[in-house]
Amino acid sequence: MDMSIANAQGLVLEEESSKRAIETIQFIVIRLGDEQYGIDIRNIDNIVRMQHITRVPKMPIYLKGVINLRGEVIPVISMRLKMGLADDEFTKNTRIIVVKLEQEGNVGFLVDEVKEVVTLAVSDIEKINYNANEEMVSLINAVGKHNEELISLVDLNVISLEDN
Amino acid sequence: MLALKNTEREGIISMDVSQYLEIFLDETREHLQNLNTQILELESDPEGEDTIKEIFRAAHSLKGMAGTMGYKRMQTLTHDMENVFTEVRNGNIKVRPDMIDVLFKCLDALEEYTDNIQSTADEGTNDNEVLIKQLNNILSEKSGGVPQAKTPVVKTSAALEEGDRWDTISLDDSQINVIKEALNMGKRVYGLTVTIQESCILKAARAFLVFKAVEERGEIIVSDPSAQDVEDEKFDREFTLILLSDVAIDEIIKAAESVSEIEKAKGGLLDLEKNKHYKAGNEAEQEAKQEAEPEAQENVPVVQEQVTAADSVVKQAAPVKTDVKKQTSGKPVVNRTVRVDIEKLDSLMNLVSELIIAKNSLVSASSQEQVGAHNSFDEQIEYLESVTTNLHESVMKVRMVPIESVVNKFPRMIRDLSKKLDKKMELYMTGEDTELDRTVVDEIGDPLMHLLRNSADHGLESAEVRAQRGKPAVGSIFLDAYQEGNNVVIEVRDDGNGIDVEGVKNKAIERGAITPEQAANMTDKEVIGLLFLPSFSTAKQVTDVSGRGVGLDVVKSKIESLSGEVEVKSTLGEGSTWIIRLPLTLAIVQALMVVVGNEKYAIPLGSIQTLEDIPPTDVKLVQNKEVINLRGTVIPLIYLSEVLDVESKKAEDESLIVVIVKKGDQMAGLVIDELIGQQEIVIKSLGKYIKQCKFISGATILGDGEIALILDANALI
């Protein structure tokens, strides 16, 4: 009798934990200036240290150029310029986040620093639906709550869809 | 337990064979190609002893391989071919043109077997009795003594006509079983031969309707040609079905004949005893068994023990296998090819690139420590550097294959076309060693074939017309491949009639593709472009070579899918040239590495004419543009630093380094800062994200892992 109850309880616990596992999303937290942003980890292919970027002429200013990632030529976009911040200053913390975009394949994004990986429950993520004219806002598609702090969640696929 | 062991063993045996299937297919294709080439040679030089020996060797290897794999039909055919070659080699038979024809047909049949094996791992059911008979005729005619009854299944074409078609249809064991079972159950088994009217255009569709009508009244067990072939319109005008039904045959005949454009349907009860294959198959099986057993005993007594459990196919296979080994040891070195999965290559390439990155960090680490004691360390790095660079290069080259493998089959095709169309023609090929990405090479065969057929059929005039126009009796078709900048260009050229622009216009108006008003305003180029529209054919007569209007639009879409382009140049009465340009997404080209500002760029050598050192005083202004006078030619200057938005490092009074590039008749001088030198570079795409920059055609990764952009000189001019 006792056994079966214990078993049943175990089952319930297990169910709960699996439910929770399904409902969380991991984000990589990056820093741009003083702001922190989250990028869905499922979109990220790779994070590499700063390396020489070959400039491509006649490109929009935020398109910094191309890098060689293990034999693949990948365009690199400055998140700072894209978001209307000052141009990048390269430090030892500067990283290129390589993201696999749906349409364009791999694209690298320059960020000031990669901080940590956070796990957010889906219930702690709030979608932003309003259309502001400001470009910066349109890149941020949701806000997540993590340890009482708010993190802006960036949808990089939106970046790619804009005409460059 | 015993039963289990048996199945286990069988499993192992069949696995053994399937494991070799790929090698078998590769080698078979190689041998077939070799045979094709050699027999072509034999045709022009019937006495060539080496050629005959080579043919014999290839045929023998083929036979052995087919036997090893248990492909009986293929083995039978190659066996008989080999017999012919033996007699030719021994000087008992002289090579004659009709014999060459038969041999080529045999090769086609073998190719068909190979295709079947590739798609289904089974050789198919075509026995090619006619060919085997022809081979035996050659043997018996010339040497007299060679027995004709060697092949088990001999069917004369006369018998084919008199008897009912369904009595000659080939049946396999399972089909025979089904028929027997149905007969036992008291069902009626009919044969039905349906002939479609000659004028019918949509034969496959009519046949489909007949199939449907028959299926409503019974069950179709066998179709000859196969249902698939009928669907693909791979039949003449006639097809034969064997079916089970409860209704009277008359009703089925009536149903079949009610389909329009059906000439006649003939049907009757099937008598299994009358079926030639049923009888012959039984005999053949016995004969094959008898033949196999003594051979097995002679050659490989050791293998025999293992073999007893297996069926007669494997029995036959075992001895031949040892035969092949003996043969290969004495064989001259043939071009060995290795097929590699592209995915594997890609990962290998990535690994090598990573190795380079690792090396780079080592290089930078060493340069930071400027101490003399690190000599050996530096040496090691240098070594690592050379190894990785070479490795990188060679791995990337693996993906590139010469187009030879594709174009090799064309001489044979032109020869066949020449006979079929009754026009004399010769194919001249150059640049077979031009390398292209494997994927492109695999795809380019069909479009090229279309264009060649097009030239042979539409392009070249008939002998009389050629004579009238004072052209040589033998028409020429050229296939030239070469690299031009970032492109590989493949040209199909003929000295035939050229494109009749007015003819195309009239046809287009007739078809309603354009209005007469539109036609009047169209340029010749636009009119020629009409040819690439789907379902457009100007051939006055539809032949089975071309003229169905499904050629050129397919060619165009195929080339475009490879992101290439097709261009046509044509002069009426003189001939036309079809130019295919394929961009080298992953091709290796020779390029000149240059420095502009602080950046490195690559300019493909193909577009470069010369390099010049020009003193600033030689630069003149014409219409406000800077030009130089180079040996009498006025060439405009393009300052790359301006085009590329970089600061030039050069002082004003320094002499200019000018790269003279050419596009068609136009020339331009690209002013650069510094020359690095010539280098073989691998072209990489910049990706989909970067698309607007029109004078950057791609990027390449330099030996140190850095990226240099490739300038498209054509876009700069």
Q: Could you read off the pLDDT of B112-121 as tens digits, one per residue?
A: 888 888 777 7
Query: Residue B684 and residue A73: Cβ atoms within 8 Å?
Result: yes
CA distance B176 to chain A (A): 55
Q: Is the dihedral of CA B461, B568, B493, B575 positive or negative?
A: positive
pLDDT of residue B404: 84
Least confident of B101-105, B633-637, B689-693: B689-693
The reply to whether B686 touches chain A by the CB within 8 Å rule is yes
CA distance B643 to chain A (A): 8
Whether B518 shows a pLDDT value over 50: the answer reads yes
Residue B396's identity, in one-letter code, is M
Name the nearest CA neighbour of B39 among B23, B58, B67, B22: B58
pLDDT of residue B15: 42
Better-predicted residue by pLDDT, B664 or B110: B110
Q: Is the dihedral of CA A11, A13, A17, A23 positive or negative?
A: positive
The reply to whether A50 touches chain B by the CB within 8 Å rule is no
Q: How many CB pairs under 8 A join A and B?
A: 76
d(CA B43, CA B581): 34
pLDDT of residue A129: 66
The yes-or-no answer on residue B277 being catalytic is no
Least confident of B75-89, B266-280, B685-699: B266-280
Question: Mutating which of A58, A107, A160 best tests the B interface, going by the most B Cβ atoms within 10 A?
Answer: A58
CA distance B688 to chain A (A): 5
d(CA B310, CA B332): 34
Determine what percent of chain B is predicted with pLDDT higher than 70: 73
- At residue B572, φ and ψ (nearest 5 deg) are -60, 130
The reply to whether B355 touches chain A by the CB within 8 Å rule is no
Which one is catalytic: B34, B116, B454, B497?
A: B454
The yes-or-no answer on residue B454 being catalytic is yes
Tell me the pLDDT band of B568, cut-offs 50, 70 and 90.
confident
Tell me the pLDDT band of B668, cut-offs 50, 70 and 90.
very high
Q: Which residues of B touch A55 (CB under 8 A)?
A: 599
Looking at chain A from residue 113 to 142, which residues have their Cβ under 8 Å from any Cβ of chain B?
A: none
Strands (E), A70-137: 72-78, 95-101, 105-111, 113-121, 125-127
- SS3 state of residue B604: strand
Tens-place pLDDT, residues A3-29: 444 444 444 444 445 554 557 889 999
Least confident of A39-43, B8-12, B57-61, B444-448: B8-12
Residue B141's identity, in one-letter code, is E
pLDDT of residue A10: 47
Residue among B643, B686, B692 minimizing CB distance to A73 = B686
Tens-place pLDDT, residues B685-700: 787 777 667 788 888 8
Cα B468 to the center of its chain, rounded Å: 37
- SS3 state of residue A141: strand
Q: Which residues of B touch A50 (CB under 8 A)?
A: none
pLDDT of residue B345: 73
The yes-or-no answer on residue B60 being catalytic is yes
Least confident of B87-96, B349-358, B410-419, B588-597: B349-358
Stretch B387-409: mean pLDDT: 74
pLDDT of residue B499: 83
Least confident of A57-66, B50-59, B252-261: B252-261
d(CA B124, CA B66): 13
- Secondary structure percentages of chain A, helix, strand, coil, to 5: 25, 45, 30
Residue B659's identity, in one-letter code, is V
Name the nearest CA neighbour of B520 among B532, B533, B537, B505: B505
Query: Residue A59 and residue B693: Cβ atoms within 8 Å?
Result: yes
Q: Which residues of B touch A104 (CB under 8 A)?
A: 687-689
* DSSP sequence for B235-259: S-SEEEEEEEESS-HHHHHHHHHTS
- Give the nearest chain A residue to B685 (CA atoms): A73
d(CA B205, CA B535): 18
Tokens of B294: 């003594």
CA distance B592 to chain A (A): 18
Tens-place pLDDT, residues B189-203: 888 888 887 766 667
- SS3 state of residue B506: helix
Beta bridge partners of B707: B701
The reply to whether B205 touches chain A by the CB within 8 Å rule is no
The reply to whether A104 touches chain B by the CB within 8 Å rule is yes
Query: Could you tell me if the ipTM is greater than 0.90?
Result: no
Looking at chain B from residue 588 to 607, which residues have their Cβ under 8 Å from any Cβ of chain A?
A: 599
How many residues does the structure list for chain A?
A: 164
- pTM for this one? 0.43
- Secondary structure percentages of chain B, helix, strand, coil, to 5: 50, 20, 30
pLDDT of residue B601: 94
The reply to whether A49 touches chain B by the CB within 8 Å rule is no
Tens-place pLDDT, residues B144-161: 443 443 333 333 333 334
Question: Mutating which of A73, A74, A96, A104 best tests the B interface, going by the most B Cβ atoms within 10 A?
Answer: A73
Q: Which residues of A touch B644 (CB under 8 A)?
A: 57
Stretch B454-464: mean pLDDT: 84
pLDDT of residue B639: 92
